[in-house]
Structure 1
Amino acid sequence: MNKNTLWTRNFIFVSAANFFFIVTYFALLVTLPTVAITHFGSTSTVAGLFTTVYIGAAIIIRPFMGPWIETYGKRFMLIVSLALFTTASFLYSFFDSIVSLLAVRFIHGFGFGMATTITVAIVADIVPESRKGEGMGYFILSTNLGMVIGPFVGLTILDEFGLYVLFWASALCSLIAFLFGLMTHLPAEQLVTRPAGKKRASLFEKSALRISITGAFFGTAYASVLSFMAVFAVEKGLGPESSYFFIVYVIILLLTRPLTSRWYDQYGANTIIFPAIVSFAIGMFILGMTTNALLFFIAAAFIGGGWGTLFPSFQTVVLQSSEPKRRPVALATFLSIFDIGISGGSLLAGVLVGVISFSSLYIFYSFYIIAGLAVYHWSQKEESYV
């Protein structure tokens, strides 16, 4: 097989598994805060906990993934992570209280943290070095598609069929992801067996810290969209349109991804990251100013072109700035710190909307994102991504 081949069997199967568990993730992410408020009568702060608890569990488990991958191998950890994720997905239907659902979210978060780390680590190994930006871009597109289909499926099923049909549909998507994981067959790996008493390698990768903090900075802003966009849409009288927000988002991604991925490989990260930050900020400002469906969808387009480009770019920077054998640890470092931004941002957004309006929240974050230009510049102090 040509060493520059991108669309291999394993690449397709891992991307498919990633797509289906991301669908599950986002179907529940955008609906459970709304369910907490409407079904259980919770406050917006408690609603934010459905994201915070989930991501918190992912943050706890990710640092251990590097050593576990070295010891047990990538395929084994892929199967274990998807099995745990699928099991937790089936548990939602058996509980009907805030406390019990938060407990399930915590278990589900363990599976999510493991799965998101191992899938990216596998793809990082099987994508040719000369096509790293393109390969990671297409892989993350499976995440982006899941980000669109998940909220659309989640909001539609919740509205048309109710909470428990949503839970079972999410469980089915998780099971499909697990089956794709089983069909993935990776080359034999050299596993690491450490003598008793020998010190393990660091659970964190120093080279990934600055770009990870930068990703978390922007993730804090995006969390407000993930957790409360549906509630905001209803408040603006755009409830029926809320399902289509991410459809517009992904259309922009599909149109721009082939170009941005290749530009990354040819011209460097800065060529697309700086414009993407500006696009993200513009989208958040328009979202805050939204009074009708047209502005709502224009905001989705700018956010899709902005955040949808930033996230895979940051991950590619992490891969390129770390040694191949440390990539799982570097990715775990990035995703753990990034998820602190997502979980903290969700909780912060829940607190802020108790004081200010959703419109003010999104306008505030537009200026916050512009300030992120300086944060990204700071992230380049030690490494050059040009």
Structure 2
Amino acid sequence: MMKKPLWTKDFLGISFISFFLFIGFYILLTALPLYVLDDLHGTEADVGLVTACFLISAVLCRPFTGKWINGIGRKKLLLISLCIFFISSFLYLLADSIPFLLALRFIHGIGFGVATTATGTIVADVIPDERKGEGLGYYALFMNIAMVAGPFTGLTIIRSFSFDALFILVAILALFGLLLSLIVKVPERKPLQKVREKLSFASFFEASAIPVAIVGGILAFAYSGILSFISVYATELGLLKAASYFFVVFAAFIILSRPFTGKWFDLYGSHKIIYPAIVIFAVGMFVLSQASGAFVFLLAGGLIGLGFGTLSPSLQTMAINRAAPEKRGLATSTFFTFFDSGFGISSYALGVVAAYMSIGSLYSILSVVILLTVIPYYFLCHYQGGRGTQQTDLSA
């Protein structure tokens, strides 16, 4: 039997919408700290608040998004969230004070949180069931490319032009995403029954996705140490020039491995992909902690890209596959709520810890944390599920 096509117009459309969302996010993540310090004359604490406001609003709205997806409809919710994201992106041109910027970041985070949850749900419906691992792996690749292109683009625009030019670019990218959403055909799923539902934990979180989401949150906690401290660490080592290529190597390893890892997930099952990926991620983090030259530093980037870049879409696939089709939106929002929470908690907690030890020592500890994640993964996602879970995860 021939496989159902993966690279359809709708799959590409949703993937590019995700790309435009994330490249705007990473451009601002890199550039706004400089804008706050230089143009708004803020402090380092203000920089932290600007980042935190965005993440907090994104995390807070995700559980509601999972509930809204079936109530409002996937297409309508996507359009609403992308409108919020676009308008917020445009309003950075008017952000001339810290309070205004903080309010704008909170609203922008809502648009981002709802839109990324919606796209993650829609793409799961667009991808053929027998190619879920492969399809979500390629979908994640668009986010990985944005993670590399965003910081590079942001810093280049700032050096060559101005912050106004950067904000205009971010608004244009958001507009591209909004326009694409108009031509993408979105599969809609009606709720099983139309009844008044009491507000409860189950109405905001998909129970079947929580074990996988917990593991994802732990790994996101560890990975956040890379995003938060890699430039500081590179400066300490005298490798600031090499730091600009860290995520390029990171993305290159993901791109080279993606055609294989996604297919292996579908063919051999989640466990045979996730255990090796956790080990590779842990080894990469330990290699980074021992780096003293550019080669080892960049090698660590490649290993971390291969490990974490495989884990993220694989765990998301597991969370979605465990849920009933009409609950995929709730499963997606549950996964990303825990995943983003791991990032948010780490941003603060690791900053406190880093004040008492070197960044290299911190990365050594994180490598152990990553390796120990095999324990909660085994008991929450592997042992508990038995053959039944393997069937659900396309792992039999």
| TM-score, normalising length: structure 1 | 0.91
Aligned sequence identity (%) = 41
Corresponding letter in the other structure for 2:210: L
SS of aligned partner of 2:323: coil
Corresponding letter in the other structure for 1:29: L
Between 287-296 and 340-349, report the one with greater CA deviation.
287-296
Q: Deviations over 1:48-92 (max 9, x none)?
A: 443332121111111111332212211111111111111111222
Correspondence for 1:118: 118
Correspondence for 2:249: 248
Correspondence for 2:79: 79
378 and 151 in structure 1: CA distance in 2 versus 1, 3 angstrom threshold = farther
Cα offset, 1:183, TM superposition: 1.9
Say whether the 8 Å CA contact 1:152–1:246 is kept in structure 2.
no
Say whether the 8 Å CA contact 1:30–1:226 is kept in structure 2.
no
Alignment of 1:89-108 (within 5 A): 89-108=89-108
Corresponding letter in the other structure for 2:314: S
Q: 2:201 aligned with 1:206, yes or no?
A: no
Structure 2, unaligned runs of 5 or more: none
Cα offset, 1:33, TM superposition: 4.4
SS of aligned partner of 2:373: helix
Q: 2:288 aligned with 1:296, yes or no?
A: no
Correspondence for 2:366: 365
Corresponding letter in the other structure for 1:173: L
Cα RMSD between the aligned structures? 2.3
Say whether the 8 Å CA contact 2:250–2:304 is kept in structure 1.
yes
Correspondence for 1:145: 145
Cα offset, 1:269, TM superposition: 0.9
SS of aligned partner of 1:202: helix
Q: State the alpha-carbon separation in 2 of the partners of residues 37 and 370 from structure 1.
A: 38
Correspondence for 2:384: 382
Q: Deviations over 1:266-300 (max 9, x none)?
A: 11111111111111112222222333322221111
Cα offset, 1:35, TM superposition: 5.3
Cα offset, 1:98, TM superposition: 3.8
Q: 2:279 aligned with 1:283, yes or no?
A: no
Cα offset, 1:46, TM superposition: 5.0
Q: 2:221 aligned with 1:220, yes or no?
A: yes
237 and 165 in structure 1: CA distance in 2 versus 1, 3 angstrom threshold = farther
Alignment of 1:334-353 (within 5 A): 334-353=335-354
Cα offset, 1:14, TM superposition: 0.6
Corresponding letter in the other structure for 1:174: A
SS of aligned partner of 2:203: coil
Say whether the 8 Å CA contact 1:51–1:346 is kept in structure 2.
no
164 and 240 in structure 1: CA distance in 2 versus 1, 3 angstrom threshold = farther
Correspondence for 1:306: 307
Say whether the 8 Å CA contact 1:34–1:230 is kept in structure 2.
no
| TM-score, normalising length: structure 2 | 0.89
Say whether the 8 Å CA contact 1:29–1:226 is kept in structure 2.
no
Cα offset, 1:188, TM superposition: 5.8
Cα offset, 1:155, TM superposition: 2.8
Correspondence for 2:183: 183
Q: 2:137 aligned with 1:165, yes or no?
A: no
SS of aligned partner of 2:184: coil
Between 155-164 and 87-96, report the one with greater CA deviation.
155-164
160 and 236 in structure 1: CA distance in 2 versus 1, 3 angstrom threshold = farther
Say whether the 8 Å CA contact 1:209–1:333 is kept in structure 2.
yes
4 and 343 in structure 1: CA distance in 2 versus 1, 3 angstrom threshold = same
Say whether the 8 Å CA contact 2:285–2:364 is kept in structure 1.
yes
78 and 153 in structure 1: CA distance in 2 versus 1, 3 angstrom threshold = same
Corresponding letter in the other structure for 1:153: T
Q: State the alpha-carbon separation in 2 of the partners of residues 282 and 165 from structure 1.
A: 40
Say whether the 8 Å CA contact 2:189–2:326 is kept in structure 1.
no
Correspondence for 1:134: 134
Cα offset, 1:261, TM superposition: 0.5
The size of the alignment, in residue pairs, is 383
